[in-house]
Amino acid sequence: MSTTRYTDKNPINVAGGLKAAIHNPNVSEEAKERAAERLHEMGADNQNQSTPQNLTGYSDSESITQQDIAYAREILEAVGYSIEKPAESTHDEHQTRVLAGYKAALSNPHVSKEAKAHAQAYLNKHRAA
């Protein structure tokens, strides 16, 4: 049994793997208990907080709650991402970058069909397709 701590690993990925193990019917009860203990040690044992199981399986953003947004912000800030727009950034500039990102996703071979469909739907909704 490895005693490796997760200091050199992405905590989101580690928590996601542990949660997957807990819900996997092919994993022994003992392994599920160890995974739950590790999640608890990491401070990620709240079952209401989920880690992304499939980062490309987006649904329409209307189903996203303010609680979901706050949790995503917390996770991103914990791993060093800045969420706030720079003070000199305008809304139009931000929106242009968002649309450019979705357009880029459409031609990126590493983006799943589901994510491309989400990007296309977003572009259609904002009349930028």
**pLDDT at 17 (0 to 100):** 84
**pLDDT at 86 (0 to 100):** 64
Place of tokens 């996770």: 75
Q: Are 3 and 42 in contact (CB under 8 A)?
A: no
pLDDT-based confidence at 25, cuts 50/70/90?
confident
**pLDDT at 15 (0 to 100):** 82
Indicate the DSSP class of residue 125.
H
Please name the helix (run of DSSP H) or strand (run of DSSP E) that holds residue 73, with its range, or none: helix 66-78
Residue 90 clears pLDDT 60, i.e. is over it: yes
**pLDDT at 46 (0 to 100):** 47
Domain boundaries, the chain: 1-53, 61-125
**pLDDT at 48 (0 to 100):** 45
**Which tops the pLDDT comparison, 92 or 123?**
123
* pLDDT, averaged across the chain: 75
> 0.75 cut: is pTM over it?
no
